[in-house]
Every structure is written in structure tokens, then in C-alpha cells.
Structure 1
Amino acid sequence: MRKPLLSLVAVLGLAACATTPVGPPPPPPPPSGAVAVAIPANIAAAVSDPTRPATDMVRDSDRLPGEVLAFAGVKSGAKVADLIPGGGYFTRIFAKAVGPKGKVYAYVPDELTKLAKREPAVNAVARDPAYKNVTVILNTLPNFAAPEKLDLVFTAQNYHDMHNKFMGPADLAAVNRAIFRSLKPGGVYLVIDHSAEAGSGLRDTEGLHRIDSAVVKSEVTAAGFVFEGESPVLRDPADKRAVSVFDPSIRGKTDQFVYKFRKPAGAR
């Protein structure tokens, strides 16, 4: 399982103390590629909220929600859309991180509800009095929109599925343009997904549920977004990207990219 990088540095420091007989040891170098991530107070409180389901909290060491939301820049009072929220793992954290003056729109595509033939699981979050700032939106993917301009549109481990048959497949050019329009100038579009082999394009979206990150970057920037950077916190070089993300040997430990795109400040 992945561990927060600051915790790893602390463990290495304790190991150094145990093996040095005299005097304080020099601080250990950080692991190769490691970047210490400062978690803002609003996000730290949201992640540690004791009312979160235990089944969600046990996934934190693999999903690192604090580091991810810090990279996205989630602030109190923000307006956020959680695109394809599933059971609401991130929806709950967003709701607490943005606070009562913020708003979270859990956007569930009609394509999914027709397939599932049941109400979206995230409806239970919106009905919970502890999450009064959550609203579920049911609509098709190309018609993505919210009742107000957004600070952040977020989707985790879903982008590849929008290219798959059971989702239409969706017209990603239209979806990304709709997301662009929904954001405030300077707003962020954050995409997390399972990495496919470099150069594989869309080959593995259906079979392995992975996508070549270069495709995502190309499609999203074509809608007018500027690629602002990547967080390495969910990278895992041990994943050879050759098996399905549901394979027991790799499930929960896939190499994932976290891409941050921004709508230019002067865009409408």
C-alpha cells in the first residue's frame, strides 16, 4: 500500500537513530522522487473526519486523498463537481473540505444509471444531513453542467471508462468542452486514472481499464485547458501496466497519473 510521503521520511529517521551509536544522526535523504506534501487544515480535517465510513478510511493509504486534494487546491467555500462519483468516497471528503459555504455537485451520467437500473449510490450521501452541501445531478455526459460556475471539476479512475462502449462511448471532445465552460476562469480540471503502456492510446481502456496518459493530455488541452502539471503521489513503478486493474495481483496498487489542467484566467 502507498503511504504518505512524510510518514515514510519519519520511519527512515527512526531507523537511522537505531543504528547510530553516538550523537544525533544526520537527516536521511528523502526517497528518490519523493515530494513532501503539505496538507491544508481544511483538507486534513475532512480526511480525518470520524463520521466517514470505515470502508472508505481503509482505502486512504492507497488513494492518498489529502495529497490529491492539496494538489487540486481545494479551499473552503469552493464549488466542486465530482464527475462519476461512485459511492461517494471523494464526495464526502470534498463536502467537508469546502465547508458549509462551499458546494459539491455529484455528477452521475445518465449512461450509468440506465446501465445499473438502480438509483446512484451517491444519493445516500446527499440524503445524509451531515452533507447538506451535496447535490446529485443526473444528466448525460456531453451535457455536463452545474447550476453555477465551478472552481474544480474532478474525476478519479473514470476517464478511461468514458471511452468505453457501455458509456456510449462518450464524445470526449464534447465532454471536455462542456467541463471547460462549467469552470470559472482559472478553474481546475483534475484527472486521475490508471496508467496504460506509453504509446498504447485507447487500446486498453476496455480490457485493462487503463489509458495512455498522453491521450488524456491531448484530449483535455484540445478543449482549451492548459496542462499545469502532475502530482507523483499515486505513481508506482512496480506496476508493469500489462494486466487489468481488477487483477488481484495489482488491484489497489496500480500506477496512476494525477493530471492538473487549468482554464486560462482570461477564458470565458
Structure 2
Amino acid sequence: MRAGIVAAAMAAAWCVTGCAGTPTADDGDQSATAAGKQLARVAAGDHRSETNIARNQYRHPVQTLQFFGVDPDMTVVEIWPGTGWYTEILAAYLRDNGTFYAAGFSLRSVTVPEYRERIQREYVAKLRDRPTIYDRVKLTAMGPPEDWWVAPDNSADRVLTFRNVHNWMKDGYASLVFDGMYDALKPGGILGVVEHRASPGTSLETMETSGYVTEQHVKILAARSGFEFVESSEINANPKDMKDHPEGVWTLPPSLRLGDKDREKYLEIGESDRMTLKFRKPAG
């Protein structure tokens, strides 16, 4: 089925003018809706650390999740939740009426780096420490070569991933991940991607080493798996980010890989410029 629609999806991937959306006057009012109010409460909830809440100004979770159309009664998959920044919001938001799958790093893979194994074990411990929030999270894994099943096929209303595409590219299995996300979604379901945004024309080698990926390349990866591009948003844009840092995206907060060197400069820039892209699995 995927092969029959790739050609049309590839054409959509190249659409820029007239296809990409930017925030409208209504974007700032989204949090006034019932779902927006609920998301806002969760995003500022006392189960979250002050450090994580402080990053709301850069990651815009309420606006981002509303742009992706995440409702509290949906089945949602988060791919590679890392330390759980978005899990803190999604698990609480979906707990009573929805279903939340967290497809983390594979602990069965013989090639998983030690730091990913450590992050995944800390993530699992985090969930166990707060059962009133996380007891209904369904843990799965995504990683080579054993684990590609992130949720039952055709089961998810939304699949979301935040700042991970560059990792899959560097590891050499980005296309397989997009295939897996496609399979998990219901026909008509939405894939939401947030990623550090490279300047147009950036080489694949630079994308893999800098952490920044072009919008065009993400659209091509999605189209190859059969997705249709729907629209984009500038919710997570940062025009201060010139993307020319000595340690790539990790030069900026929250990583600040250079330590105290030019620290104030990078704090002034803030977190990276990010694309926010919405794709759809065709309905038929």
C-alpha cells in the first residue's frame, strides 16, 4: 500500500510556497480552548521540575501539541522520549481518556550506546517513581536490529517525535523509522515532527554532524514512507540561531557543550531554531 502513494507524497514534499503554514493571529489564542487550558495546566504541573518548566518558553508545548491536533482521548506514540520532557505532558494529558505509547531506546540492541542505555533506564525509573502520573504509559522500543514495533499497526491517531531525525540519519536508519511510524498510524493519522532546522542546501554530512536538518530532507524521508505533507508552523522558530556553532546544535542551551566559553552569548541566542512539520498517512 505504501508504494502506491509514494509518488504523490514525494511531489507534496517539494511544495513550499502555498503549502507551508505560519502562525496566524489565532495561534496565540489556542490555549484559551478547553484542550489548551488542560495542556497549559499539565505543562506547568507540580510533577515537573522548575528546570523543565523553564524550557516551555523555547519548546512551546501547548501550541505545538495543538498544532499537531493532539486531543486527550487519542492514542499517541512518542518516539525516543529521551529523558521524558514531553512525556511529562503527554502522559498526564492522555492518562484518563487516551492511550500513550513511549517508544524509547532499545535495551536489547547490541549497538545501543551506553549513554542511551543509561537514559532509557533513568526514564523507566522516572515512570515508576510517579505511578499516579505514569502508571498507564505503554513502554515499547525503537532501535536496530531487534526493535521496530512501536505500537500496533494502524492504531495511533498521532505519532510524535521531537529533535530525533538527525540521530536516525547519523545511525543510518532514518527511512526505517519513518516506515515504522507510518505503520503505527491509523489511515488519516498525523505524524508530528519537531527538528533542529538547517539552512537550505546544507549537506547530508553537515546535517549528521551538526544536528541541524533541512526541512526538505525531512519531507523527502516522510514522503518515501508514504506520508503526505500537510503544513508547517513557525511555533518553534528562533531567528537568533545562525546555525554556525563550533559544536553544532549542542553549543546552545540546554547542552552548552562549550561550558563557560561564550556562555552568555549562547544563552542570549537561546535554544535552536526548529522546524515544526505535520504529515498525514493517507486515508485510503
Question: Which consecutive residues of structure 2, in runs of 5 or more, have no partner in the other structure?
Answer: 1-21, 253-264
After the TM superposition, which of the residue ranges 226-235 and 106-115 deviates more from structure 2? 106-115
2:280 aligned with 1:262: yes
Q: Which amino acid aligns with 1:153?
A: V
Q: Which is helix-richer, 1 or 2?
A: 2
SS at match of 2:208: coil
2:233 aligned with 1:227: no
SS at match of 1:207: helix
- Match 1:137 to one of 128, 132, 140: 140
CA distance in 2, matches of 1:224, 1:204: 26
2:220 aligned with 1:218: yes
Root-mean-square deviation over aligned CA pairs = 2.2
SS at match of 1:205: helix
- Match 1:100 to one of 96, 100, 121: 96
Question: 5 Å matches for 1:36-185?
Answer: 36-37=27-28, 38-39=30-31, 40-110=36-106, 113-116=112-115, 117-118=117-118, 120=120, 121-127=122-128, 128-129=130-131, 130-140=133-143, 143-147=148-152, 149-164=155-170, 167=171, 169-170=172-173, 172-185=174-187
The offset of 1:199, in angstroms, is 1.2
SS at match of 1:73: coil
TM-score normalised over the length of structure 2: 0.74
The offset of 1:179, in angstroms, is 1.0
TM-score normalised over the length of structure 1: 0.78
Count of paired positions? 231
- Higher relative contact order structure (alpha carbons within 8 Å, sequence separation ≥ 6): 2
Query: Does the C-alpha gap of structure 1 residues 92 and 189 become closer, same or farther in structure 2, counting only changes over 3 Å?
Result: same
Question: Which consecutive residues of structure 1, in runs of 5 or more, have no partner in the other structure?
Answer: 1-31
- Residue identity (%): 27
The offset of 1:74, in angstroms, is 0.9
Larger Rg: 1
